[in-house]
Structure 1
Amino acid sequence: MNLSTIKSPGVYIDEENAFSNTVIPVQTAVPAFIGYTPRADYEGKSYFNVAQKITSFSDFQAIYCLPNPSAPSAPAKQYNPQYYIVKQVSQPQNGDCISINDSNYSIVPDPNTIYYLYNSIRLFYENGGGDAYIVSVGKYGSPSGSPINTGEQIVNPNVKLNELTNGLAVLKCELEPTMYICPEATLLSVDNNATLMQEMLIQNTEMQTSISIFDIIGARNPDPIKYMNDIETFRTATGSKGLCYGTAYYPFVGTTIMQDTDLDYTNLFGGDIQQLATLINPEGNSNSTLTAIIDAIKEGNISSQQANNALKNSSKTYATIMKHVLADANVLPASGGIAGVITTIDNQEGVWYSPANTSIVGVCSLPINLSESQQADLNVDVVSGKSINAIRSFPGIGILIWGARTLDGNSQDWRYIAVRRTITFIEQSSKFACSSYVFQPNDKNTWESIKTVLGNFLNNLWKQGGLQGATASDAFSVQCGLGTTMTSEDILNGILRVVINVAIVHPAEYITIEFQVQMAES
């Protein structure tokens, strides 16, 4: 209360604040997914190219998934990849291959029908995901009606660079997301993928609020001998800017996200039942039961779900084909699952814990099993310093995330993901806390208040284990004042400068145990 404003006698009450302001910690695990969805509308409003926050997979379904028809009809297919069974002269070196009637056949997709966002969201929530932002840049495009060549990388012409970069630009207005994820970036050409990744890193650098989690072209079906060519291509493609804000994982992961009921005969040959019939029920060696099922499908006298079950029961060849198709459709970029793992670790432990030495729920296989020596070339790169985090299978243990580095592997400051994310957490929490002091008098009272507020926040962080040091003074320091962080000219120019020093916890990446042999003693 300003006593100079009191004009009349009486009793006046002046309430004084007993406690200083506090720092409200920002959320650390809020991914933003950019890509293509079955639809993007809710109650008549379009959500294309809108950064929409969701809190559960049910939210995602309500806005971005096709509505299910009423029972007893089967649920709508949210993702409908198309595959072709192509006869080969000899067994191919790469890609999935099966034997039918003593001939080799490759199972190859129509590239125009391959998308990753929908299943990546499912993998994210299966691994403990929570709040997330979705930027849908468009619906699925039309199929091409033909497969890719066996062993080729999938490039989907319906996935366009300009649409993904426009979706990325939408996030410039959002401060809450802490991870950028674009699973379908690997469906671009190598050059377009490079442009997108570099733009993501530049935006991360400018906003200083998030990191980008990258997948690698070629990691879906890696060549066991020449896989390092894909790694070198990726390292060249990421450029040199903002590397501490990027992290990459290799290879893709085989999942159990899609189930038997998600795919049927309509996912083969573009739904042409006659081409399938020629393969599983050839003339001269036909099966009467199969012939009746196929005729019922052609005449529309049977539902797709009933027909699919009947075909599986009547034809081992068909059941084998669908098993391989399902396995191929379940190979996904790891980024969605990694985002879920990061969310779980942040919630259970803290942002300063590395998202490594843990499994990804729903992952059952890998397209390549890396050895320790093979990972060495991914983890440490002498020339570029761009580290790639490996996902490895260990006998008796399972599949684990076995890396915790950013792309800036040569930097002592920003080598580790946990360090980068912890600093971002401290920076953004401190920034929002100090915003309440804008336009306050630039004097000692304000300086001391800021030091108290930030000091309490960092002290709590130290007690939780987020900072290292035997005492609080060893873990952090906050400075603010004339002669320490500011000059008289700064004050005249309206500048209030705060300097925070923190001792960040680093992961124990290499653990060495020394043994010595000693003589026996009586």
Structure 2
Amino acid sequence: MATAYKTPGVYIEEIPKFPPSIAPVETAIPAFIGYTEKAVRNGESLTNKPLRIESIAEYELYFGGSPSQDVTLYLDTNNQLVRSEASAKLYLYDSLRLFYANGGGKCFIVSVGAFPDSVSSADLEGALKWLEQEDEPTLILAPDGVSDDNGPFEFQKQALTQANKLQDRFVICDLTKSVTNTEFNTSVATFRNNIGINFLKYGAAYGPWIKANLPRSLMRRNITLLRDGVNTTIKLANLTDDQPTQAVIADLLLVESFVNEAKSIKDVLSGGADITLEDRAKELQDDYNAAVSDSQIKSAIQDITDYIVEIIVEIQKRYEAAPPGSDRFKLRTEIEKYIESGQIKSAFRTVADHHFFLAALTGDAAIPLLTANNDLDDAAELMGYTDGDTLLATPLVNVSGSYSGLTTVKQRADVAISPILAAVNEAITFFNFLETTQHSYEKALNENLIAGFGLYKTLVTKAAEALNLLPPSGAIAGVYAAVDRDRGVWKAPANVSLNAVIAPAVTISHEQQGEFNVDPNGGKSINIIRAFLGKGTLVWGARTLAGNDNEWRYVNVRRFFNMVEESTKKATEQFVFEPNDANTWVKVQAMIENFLTVLWRQGALQGIKPEHAFYVAVGLGKTMTPLDILEGRMIIEIGMAAVRPAEFIILRFSHKMPES
């Protein structure tokens, strides 16, 4: 409505002449669905809650690290490797590493729970409903699904259904594991028989699996040696006659027992494997802060003082068990040095000193918060005191002045709690130092063993190879992201080499690929990953599962249309409830034409002129009837001549007759 001019003067009116613009949406933000070590952010569970991350470090912060790296190696009577078997069959973490190695950036993680004993597609399928609420993801993959006994097919079918429903995402499918041509043929046939025929244009399958070269930190305890055929355990020391090497192995076994026990102790002290000692200390502090009655206050402080004694007692046990004279494992010496520094001793003394004034918080009979017993005696002895009774007989530091004039339990407790919590934190620091030291010794001994024992080095290499046999979906998602960023979503994500990959698990020849690329029965093309001499490992296919469909045969065409459709949909939302008349139609048409013209100039559309590359039609008599307008429908028709890859390049040669 025009401004009513009532007062004489000069008025300025700004008249918009430019049409609104369309911003292209992101095209390669994958959602990784699977099992994680943990799923916690700021104390809140992230299970089945999609979270966007941008790096491996961010993943590890919220979801932890890799699953078990344990590998069983089967050796023949000549101690040569026959076969290998990785215990864990969870691939999300390593797939994410491949994603970033191949150019990935932003992605979503949907944790369906902690590492399980067996994978269930039902867990993965359940996560899809939570992912449906997120607008950003444009790719869906679940590498863990291949470990389901029934295969990943039900999840993949549900993912294709979601992609068809939302029309803004694409599914990358893995085949089941195969290491021979026969197994790969069976894997492809099983996939084609079980994936169904619905919404195939929204997905693509890749195979075979790949041999990655992701770095591994394998220790001796990760490797089990069995005699093939009889499955009897082989001791590493029995594989060498070299006495110095056997001595290193003996020290390594001792360190491993310390590391394993320290981990179990830490889990008990923290109250659960998913929280740290610091988290447990904070829980105890929160209990104290929430305490109201005298009995609650007293109980909370009792728990805190018990906690510090428990930690130091466990340190004392490690000290007693450590060998005093080992040249390679000087844990006892490390503990003695730390105690001599006075920090932990002072912390322990602090708790004992305040004991005398905390023992009778209510003014009633003394109720000791530290009780002399065998555990306390051991801890006191480690700290340099005769025993627990001596420690509690009289305070070494008179802290009674701190309580002068304080009569209530809460007042006294508030004075004492600060130094006691500081003592707890010092004890935790000491325990963490001990744990880190043990791991350092274990790592050093493993490195010594690899350097001096050739067979062990070979076994470690073979174990790493077993763990690095991975489904390709994570690497493919990285390729999608890199190609989209460097060339555009309209470029086929093929003829691209894979990073952090040595070779495909199965060698597929030129002739063999034909039956995988073109499926005359169901059209379910499998994009093959192949090794080429002098080029490396390349993605050698770009077909969707609708491989015989002339419209949606190629991955880049489907994903390009997804991008244009979603971008245009978001941009035209501003015209909802605008007048459905010629003025609005002109704006909408100009907006879309400008967007498509830019894409045409970038090479996304086929044609020497814009009118050859696309058309946009909207208006009465073109795309709408008077009834459409009466019922509030504005119908826009967009046609695009998308570029398609030159999948088959045919060179024709003939003899030319000489003319002179």
**TM-score normalized by structure 1?**
0.86
The one of 638, 646, 649 equivalent to 1:500 is: 638
**SS of alignment partner, residue 254 of structure 1:** strand
Aligned partner of 2:268 in structure 1 is none
Q: Does 1:256 align with 2:213?
A: yes
Q: Does 1:268 align with 2:223?
A: yes
Q: How does 1:476-515 map to 2 (within 5 A)?
A: 476-515=614-653
How many Å separate the matches in 2 of 1:102 and 1:502? Answer: 63
The code of the aligned residue for 1:186 comes to V
CA apart distance, 1:292: 1.5
The code of the aligned residue for 1:14 comes to E
**Is the CA contact 1:268–1:276 (under 8 Å) kept in the aligned structure 2?**
no
How many Å separate the matches in 2 of 1:278 and 1:58? Answer: 37
Q: Does 1:214 align with 2:173?
A: yes
CA apart distance, 1:134: 1.0
Aligned partner of 1:101 in structure 2 is 78
CA apart distance, 1:104: 5.9
CA apart distance, 1:16: 1.5
The one of 199, 203, 213 equivalent to 2:158 is: 199
**TM-score normalized by structure 2?**
0.69
Q: Does 1:122 align with 2:122?
A: no
Aligned partner of 1:418 in structure 2 is 556
Give the gaps of 5 or more residues in structure 2. Answer: 226-230, 256-328, 330-437
Greater shift after overlay, 166-175 or 194-203?
A: 166-175
CA apart distance, 1:339: 0.9
Aligned residues: 473
How many Å separate the matches in 2 of 1:102 and 1:355? Answer: 44
Q: Does 1:175 align with 2:135?
A: yes
**SS of alignment partner, residue 345 of structure 1:** helix
**Is the CA contact 2:86–2:467 (under 8 Å) kept in the aligned structure 1?**
no
- Which digits, 9 at most, give the CA deviation of each residue in 1:249-274, with x for residues without a partner? 11111111123xx111121239xxxx
The code of the aligned residue for 1:521 comes to E
CA apart distance, 1:7: 5.1
**SS of alignment partner, residue 400 of structure 1:** strand
The code of the aligned residue for 2:70 comes to Q
Aligned partner of 2:110 in structure 1 is 135
- Which digits, 9 at most, give the CA deviation of each residue in 1:357-410, with x for residues without a partner? 110111112211100111001000111110000011111222111001000011
How many Å separate the matches in 2 of 1:268 and 1:102? Answer: 14
Distance 1:104 1:454, change over 3 A: closer
- Which digits, 9 at most, give the CA deviation of each residue in 1:300-345, with x for residues without a partner? 3462212211222333222111110101111111111111111111
How many Å separate the matches in 1 of 2:232 and 2:248? Answer: 12
Q: Does 1:296 align with 2:284?
A: no
Q: How does 1:329-478 map to 2 (within 5 A)?
A: 329-478=467-616
Aligned partner of 1:30 in structure 2 is 29
**Is the CA contact 2:503–2:536 (under 8 Å) kept in the aligned structure 1?**
no
The one of 280, 283, 290 equivalent to 2:236 is: 280
CA apart distance, 1:289: 2.0
- Which digits, 9 at most, give the CA deviation of each residue in 1:273-306, with x for residues without a partner? xx999443229x6432233223213333462212
**Is the CA contact 2:33–2:124 (under 8 Å) kept in the aligned structure 1?**
yes
Aligned partner of 1:227 in structure 2 is 184
Aligned partner of 1:153 in structure 2 is none
Q: Does 1:240 align with 2:215?
A: no
Q: How does 1:80-95 map to 2 (within 5 A)?
A: 80-87=68-75
Distance 1:454 1:102, change over 3 A: closer
How many Å separate the matches in 2 of 1:183 and 1:409? Answer: 23
How many Å separate the matches in 2 of 1:188 and 1:393? Answer: 28
Structure having greater relative contact order (Cα 8 Å, sep ≥ 6) = 2
Decide which structure has greater helix share: 2
The code of the aligned residue for 2:585 comes to W
Aligned partner of 2:63 in structure 1 is 64
How many Å separate the matches in 1 of 2:142 and 2:654? Answer: 50
Aligned partner of 1:73 in structure 2 is none
**Is the CA contact 2:104–2:477 (under 8 Å) kept in the aligned structure 1?**
yes
- Which digits, 9 at most, give the CA deviation of each residue in 1:161-220, with x for residues without a partner? 222112222110112111101111111123x5221111011011001001100110133x
How many Å separate the matches in 2 of 1:215 and 1:398? Answer: 21
How many Å separate the matches in 2 of 1:511 and 1:106? Answer: 41
Distance 1:104 1:450, change over 3 A: closer
How many Å separate the matches in 2 of 1:130 and 1:341? Answer: 11
Distance 1:388 1:161, change over 3 A: same
How many Å separate the matches in 1 of 2:243 and 2:78? Answer: 18
**SS of alignment partner, residue 175 of structure 1:** coil
The code of the aligned residue for 1:500 comes to I
CA apart distance, 1:102: 5.4
The code of the aligned residue for 1:202 comes to T
How many Å separate the matches in 1 of 2:82 and 2:591? Answer: 67
How many Å separate the matches in 1 of 2:503 and 2:147? Answer: 21
**Is the CA contact 1:352–1:418 (under 8 Å) kept in the aligned structure 2?**
yes
**SS of alignment partner, residue 140 of structure 2:** strand
How many Å separate the matches in 1 of 2:636 and 2:544? Answer: 28
**Is the CA contact 2:27–2:484 (under 8 Å) kept in the aligned structure 1?**
yes
How many Å separate the matches in 2 of 1:36 and 1:369? Answer: 30
Greater shift after overlay, 325-334 or 285-294?
A: 285-294
How many Å separate the matches in 2 of 1:421 and 1:130? Answer: 18
How many Å separate the matches in 1 of 2:47 and 2:501? Answer: 30
**Is the CA contact 1:280–1:317 (under 8 Å) kept in the aligned structure 2?**
no
The code of the aligned residue for 2:207 comes to Y
Aligned partner of 2:147 in structure 1 is 187
**Is the CA contact 1:359–1:401 (under 8 Å) kept in the aligned structure 2?**
yes
Question: Which consecutive aligned stretches of 4+ in structure 1 deviate over 3 angstroms post-superposition?
Answer: 5-12, 102-105, 275-279
**SS of alignment partner, residue 608 of structure 2:** coil
- Which digits, 9 at most, give the CA deviation of each residue in 1:105-155, with x for residues without a partner? 432222xx221111111111111111111111112235xxxxxxxxxxxxx
Distance 1:249 1:103, change over 3 A: closer
Identity %: 36
Distance 1:306 1:421, change over 3 A: same
**Is the CA contact 2:237–2:249 (under 8 Å) kept in the aligned structure 1?**
no
CA apart distance, 1:491: 0.8
Give the gaps of 5 or more residues in structure 1. Answer: 67-77, 88-98, 143-156
How many Å separate the matches in 2 of 1:140 and 1:280? Answer: 29
The code of the aligned residue for 2:454 comes to K
How many Å separate the matches in 2 of 1:281 and 1:296? Answer: 11
